Structures are given as structure tokens and as C-alpha cells.
């Protein structure tokens, strides 16, 4: 099986060179490595392109995706890839050993109906993990460890995530995900989780292989309460997006009632944070989730464009059309 490795990036490329080098050291050689630049800063793009060009004689390609959003970068990688399997790696995640691609291919081979395969995502901590993390979900650090047995699961982490290319394109690609621009925060969606749902709806399996290991670098900043509250706020948006993307919109009075319930929970968690100092960080994070859901579902009451955005299923055809128009322009 031919494997394309896609590395989307939208920030200064401090880690990309290490990621590419680690992938090139795999004992199952990738067919190609695509570095997809989605940066909104010209200086960052310049450096990303320079790094990719250092490896251009070793099957590494630089691709520029102008449409902002992690889902657009990932979907562009899908469209440009030529492998039967497409493995997505984040720009701050390193293969655990030289067997990552081999293990991914092994799971696709053993599970003929697999639509996606992934594995463990373990941490490399830049600093000691704060005590209050024992109250929080490890998903806030984008980690994954579901044991030491290969099995079928519902979801996988996007920083160690491989798909059957044909299937992923057929179901409409990745749903909306991370945006760098703060004014686009309400456009977030459920990213790879949404793609996993679409793959399962096609009757395909999602396989977890514990031997396919990636190490995710966790900076000191990501352990701060400020960062966690921002991450929790985004997670709240994702939760409400998923609720209505996969289900029906209720009538506006029901949406308003739901919103005020989330507002009440936001206030309650804030009060708990003041009253119980031993768990104040946990309550502050939960409060941020509820605040996001309150504001997002209020917006859904009057924002027609946001409602249309939430219901959109196919996020890859638009990129196909943009590519076709761009080609015709030349």
C-alpha cells in the first residue's frame, strides 16, 4: 500500500523539520510527504516553504492552501495526495519509533473494512504537569491511550490519524476545525471526530492500534489555566456544533431555553470556583465550556449563515472547485 503523509501547519515552523526527518526514517517508506502551509503570515509561509524545499529530492512536497482552517489544510492534503492511505501528522507530533507507518498499514491490511486507523498519542512535557490536571480530561492536551490491544473504536485523535483516501473524499472530508483568526472562532466544528462519524455511517471501521505511537510535545503554555480555558471554550463550541450538525435544530424558543441553561451552569461553575479553591481550575474550565455553549446557541437563534455552516456536510468539493478554477486561470 502506498502511504502519503500530510503535515498541515499554520504557525512558525519550529518543529516541522524534525517531524519530516522522523518520517523519512520510517522502515516502511512513505510514498510522499506533503507539507501543507495554511499560515496567515507571509513570513511564516516563507520559512515553511524553505524547510520543505530542503527535502524536495526525498519525496517532500510543499503545498500552499489559502483558505484558512485546519480542515481546509487537511482536505487539501487529501486531494493532492497520491497514496491509498493518507496519514495525518501534526507539526508538533513525532513518530514514536520507526514502525509507525508499518503499524498503520498492518491495521488497514488486517481489517479489510477499515476506513481510518490511529494509535497512541503520548506526551512529551516541557514542564511538570500541574496538580490540578488530575481533575481534567487528557483530551485538552490532545493525548490518546486506550490500552494495549488493537480494537475498533468510535473516534481517533487527529495528530495520529490515517484514512483510506477514497473513503475520506467520498464522505466529504474533514469537518471544520481550528482557525488561527480569532474572529472565525464561531466557525469551528468537530474536525476529525466528524469525519470518523461519516466513515462509520458508511459502514467502515475505525481501528485503534496501540503499537502505532506518536509523541505530542506539550509546551508550558498549554498547561496554563489561561490556555485551558481558551481550549475549553473552543470545545464548548464544538459540542454545540456537533449537537446540531448531526441532529435537527429545535425551535427558537427551545434554543433560547437551552442557552439560558448553559448560562446558568456557567454562573454556577464560577461560584464553585470561588467557593472551592482546591478545584477552582476544574470549575473554571467547565465554566468556559458552558459560556461557549450559551453564546453559540444564542447566535444560532438569529444567525442564518451560522446555521447553514453547521448543516454543511461536504467540505472537500469546494476545494476541488477552487483548484479547478485556479488551474483554468493559467
Domain 3-219 has CATH 3.90.550.10: yes
Q: What is the pLDDT of residues 69-113, one digit of tens each?
A: 999 999 999 999 999 999 999 999 999 999 999 999 999 999 989
Mean pLDDT of 227-231: 93
Q: What is the pLDDT of residues 268-285, one digit of tens each?
A: 999 999 999 989 999 999
Percent of the chain whose predicted confidence (pLDDT) is above 70? 96
Helix (H) or strand (E) holding 64: strand 60-64
- Tell me what pLDDT residue 113 has: 96
Predicted pLDDT of residue 132: 83
- Return d(Cα 170, Cα 189) in angstroms, integer: 19
Per-residue pLDDT averaged across 308-322, rounded?
A: 87
Q: Bridge-partner residues for 229, per DSSP?
A: none
What is the average pLDDT across 47-62? Answer: 91
| 3-state secondary structure (DSSP) of residue 125 | strand
- Cβ atoms of residues 5 and 71 within 8 Å: no
Give dist(CA 196, CA 199) in Å, integer: 5
Whole-angstrom distance, CA of residue 286 vs CA of residue 233: 9
What are the sequence ranges of the domains in the chain? Answer: 3-219, 225-311
- Mean pLDDT, range 246-253, rounded to an integer: 94
**pLDDT band, residue 292 (cuts 50/70/90):** very high
Q: State the average pLDDT over residues 7-12.
A: 88
pLDDT above 90: residue 329 = no
Summarize pLDDT for 148-184 with one digit per residue, the tens. 999 999 999 999 999 999 999 999 999 999 888 889 9
Supply the mean pLDDT for the chain. 92
Query: Is the pLDDT assigned to residue 42 strictly greater than 70?
Result: yes
pLDDT value, residue 181: 87
Express as a percent the part of the chain with pLDDT over 90: 81
* Strand partners of residue 144: 121
pTM of the model: 0.93
CA of 38: how far to CAs of 2, 29, 48, 285, 320, in Å? Answer: 25, 26, 10, 29, 16
Higher pLDDT among residues 11 and 307, named by residue: 307
Is the pLDDT reported for residue 330 higher than 60?
Answer: no
- Which band of pLDDT confidence, cut at 50, 70 and 90, is reported for residue 138? low
Predicted pLDDT of residue 325: 47
Query: Which carries the bigger pLDDT value, residue 159 or residue 322?
Result: 159
* Structure confidence at residue 15 (pLDDT): 85
**What is the CA 84 to chain-centroid distance, rounded?**
21
* 58, pLDDT greater than 70: yes
- What integer is the mean pLDDT of 234-252? 96
Q: Give the Å distances, CA to CA, from 241 to 39, 140, 189, 237, 300.
A: 25, 18, 6, 6, 10
Q: Is the pLDDT of residue 322 over 70?
A: no
Instruction: Report pLDDT for 111.
Output: 94
Amino acid at each position: 500500500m502506498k502511504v502519503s503523509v500530510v503535515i498541515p501547519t499554520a504557525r512558525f515552523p519550529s518543529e516541522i523539520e524534525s517531524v519530516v526527518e522522523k518520517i523519512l526514517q520510517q522502515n516502511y517508506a512513505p510514498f510522499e510527504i506533503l507539507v501543507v502551509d495554511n499560515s496567515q503570515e507571509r513570513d511564516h509561509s516563507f520559512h515553511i516553504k524553505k524547510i520543505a524545499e530542503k527535502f524536495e529530492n526525498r519525496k517532500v512536497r510543499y503545498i500552499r492552501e489559502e483558505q484558512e482552517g485546519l480542515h481546509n489544510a487537511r482536505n487539501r492534503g487529501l486531494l493532492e495526495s497520491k497514496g491509498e492511505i493518507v496519514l495525518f501528522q501534526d507539526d508538533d507530533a513525532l513518530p514514536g519509533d520507526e514502525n509507525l507507518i508499518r503499524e498503520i498499514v498492518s491495521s488497514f491490511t488486517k481489517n479489510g473494512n477499515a476506513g481510518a486507523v490511529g494509535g497512541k498519542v503520548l506526551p512529551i512535557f516541557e514542564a511538570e504537569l500541574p496538580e490540578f490536571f488530575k481533575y481534567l480530561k487528557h483530551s485538552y492536551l490532545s493525548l490518546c491511550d486506550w490500552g494495549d490491544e488493537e480494537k475498533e473504536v468510535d473516534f481517533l485523535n487527529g495528530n495520529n490519524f490515517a484514512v483510506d483516501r477514497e473513503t475520506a473524499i467520498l464522505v466529504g472530508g474533514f469537518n471544520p476545525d481550528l482557525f488561527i483568526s480569532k474572529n472565525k472562532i464561531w466557525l469551528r466544528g468537530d474536525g476529525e471526530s466528524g469525519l470518523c462519524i461519516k466513515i462509520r455511517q458508511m459502514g467502515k471501521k475505525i481501528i485503534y492500534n496501540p503499537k502505532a505511537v506518536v509523541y505530542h510535545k506539550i509546551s508550558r503554555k498549554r498547561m496554563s489555566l489561561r490556555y485551558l480555558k481558551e481550549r475549553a471554550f473552543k470545545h464548548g463550541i464544538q459540542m454545540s456544533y456537533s449537537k446540531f450538525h448531526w441532529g435537527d435544530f429545535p425551535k427558537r424558543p427551545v434554543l433560547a431555553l437551552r442557552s439560558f441553561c448553559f448560562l446558568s451552569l456557567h454562573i454556577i461553575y464560577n461560584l464553585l470556583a470561588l467557593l472551592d479553591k482546591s478545584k477552582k481550575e476544574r470549575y473554571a474550565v467547565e465554566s468556559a465550556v458552558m459560556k461557549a455553549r450559551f453564546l453559540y446557541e444564542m447566535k444560532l437563534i438569529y444567525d442564518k449563515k451560522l446555521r447553514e455552516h453547521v448543516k454543511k456536510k461536504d467540505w472537500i468539493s469546494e476545494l476541488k472547485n477552487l483548484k479547478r478554477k485556479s488551474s483554468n486561470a493559467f
